[in-house]
Amino acid sequence: MNYDIIIIGGGIFGVTTAVTLQQRGWHTAVLDPGPLPHPLAASTDISKVVRMEYGADEQYMEMVEAALVGWRQWNEMFGPLFHEIGVTMFTQQPMAPGGFEYESYQMLLKRGHQPERLDADEISRRFPAWKRGAFVDGFYHAQGGYAESGRVVEALLAQAQQLGVAALTGQTAVEIGQEGGRVTAVRTTEGHTFATDHVLVAAGTWTHLLLPALAPVMKSTGHPVFHLKPAQPELFTPPNFAVFTADVARTGWYGFPLHPTEGVVKIANHGIGLRLHPRDDERVVTAQDEQNFRAFLAATFPALANAPIVYTRRCLYCDTLDEHFWIDRHPEITGLTVAAGGSGHGFKFAPILGDLIADAVEARPNPWLPKFRWRTLAAQTTGEEASRHHG
């Protein structure tokens, strides 16, 4: 069967685009090794942060403003998978110009939002799980929260199939066939060839394996994730606790309140990570990771200092060198588009990703796409995602 487009990868970039392109009239297929949601995909987990704050980067805040409208609409369609309980962003020193929290706070004010600035006493009063006096400044912003990410992907996959998107699971793309500089097919390690005139590579951290030309500008980095069982769950239940960042650009630590169905507190690190091969390396959380984590807990959330860790994973980011997404048509191969480079901050944009990526596929003008264009990045390029701990 000939498809108008084959989307390689059934994670959040791929499935949102499948829904949009099918709605726009394309005969669309998603090709993935499966099962879907794929257990190793970055988007497969119990929760992802939905936050508006991006330091001084106004475009990302504008994009999240639009995404929040979509999240609320999806709650009406799919049920309450987005929990808008607010976000706390606290610092160990007073907020200052140039810092992630300060610049985010100023940008919120500039765009007409109403974050609530909190000092050390207010932090302790409103959010008693935080160690008294350890964090002295920051803010709470009611617009934001978290999405149950794995369940969101499941809901979108079901919607895609209801719309008629073909799910080609059990198939691992190994080559994109071309003739005369034009895409003709996708070939898989399982020995199948699927004819198509257009391919979207939305393969997350596996993208640069399928397209080695992107290896100089993309890498896979693994970041530790922990699930804890708190002895005092009420301390970690909204409104006593919200999605949080803990001086995140300096420490990398962020996390979530008690999960409503899993009964765990999830905390992870958004930092340098560990350079890994997405196929050949083990994705394990190390003893050093756990030691660092326990030190953070003792200094920040005393009630979790000795809480049992019930689950760990090492989440693999598809990092571009500058940490901005890579969403564009290939400059030389007709019919090839790439949507990757989530760099650990892509999921929150899910409700607008489908239109954004579909506009790239169709070469439609979109004011947000130039930031994510196909580009040349020098090897020494540094990451620009403002909340990330860069060491």
Q: Tell me the per-residue pLDDT of 230-281, one tens digit each, with 9 for 90 and over.
A: 999 999 999 999 999 999 999 999 999 999 999 999 999 999 999 999 999 9
- Domains of the chain, residue spans: 82-142+219-320
pTM to 2 decimals? 0.98
**Alpha-carbon gap, residue 166 to 185, rounded angstroms:** 16
Instruction: Kindly report, residue by residue over 88-128, the tens digit of the pLDDT.
Output: 999 999 999 999 999 999 999 999 999 999 999 999 999 99
Q: Which among 372, 387, 368, 381 has a CA at the least distance from the CA of 342?
A: 372
Q: Which two tokens stand for residue 126?
A: 């409103």
Instruction: Kindly report, residue by residue over 162-195, the tens digit of the pLDDT.
Output: 999 999 999 999 999 999 999 999 999 999 999 9
Residue 15 has pLDDT above 90, yes or no: yes
The secondary structure element, H or E, covering residue 102 is helix 100-110
Residue 1 has pLDDT above 90, yes or no: no
Share of the chain above pLDDT 70, in %: 100
Strand partners, 188: 173
Q: What is the CATH number of domain 82-142+219-320?
A: 3.30.9.10
**Alpha-carbon gap, residue 355 to 168, rounded angstroms:** 22
**Alpha-carbon gap, residue 255 to 293, rounded angstroms:** 12
pLDDT in the model for residue 201 = 98
**Alpha-carbon gap, residue 124 to 136, rounded angstroms:** 9
Q: How far is CA 49 from CA 65, 144, 171, 208, 262, in A?
A: 14, 8, 30, 26, 16
CB atoms within 10 A of CB 260: 12
Place of tokens 């949080």: 244
Q: Which two tokens stand for residue 382?
A: 């540094």
Please, is 347 exposed, middle or buried when counting C-beta atoms within 10 Å of its C-beta (0-12, 13-18, 19+)?
buried
Angle, alpha carbons 267-269-275 (nearest 5°): 140
Instruction: Kindly report, residue by residue over 211-229, the tens digit of the pLDDT.
Output: 999 999 999 999 999 999 9
Please report the sign of the dihedral spanned by the C-alpha atoms of residue 362, residue 368, residue 370, residue 371. Answer: negative
Instruction: Kindly report, residue by residue over 325-349, the tens digit of the pLDDT.
Output: 999 999 999 999 999 999 999 999 9
By three-state DSSP, how is residue 213 classified?
helix
Band the pLDDT of 66: cuts 50, 70, 90.
very high
DSSP label at 336? E
Q: Which two tokens stand for residue 120?
A: 């050390």
Residue 44 has pLDDT above 90, yes or no: no
Q: Which two tokens stand for residue 22?
A: 């099918």
Residue 43 has pLDDT above 90, yes or no: no
Q: Which two tokens stand for residue 134?
A: 């350890």
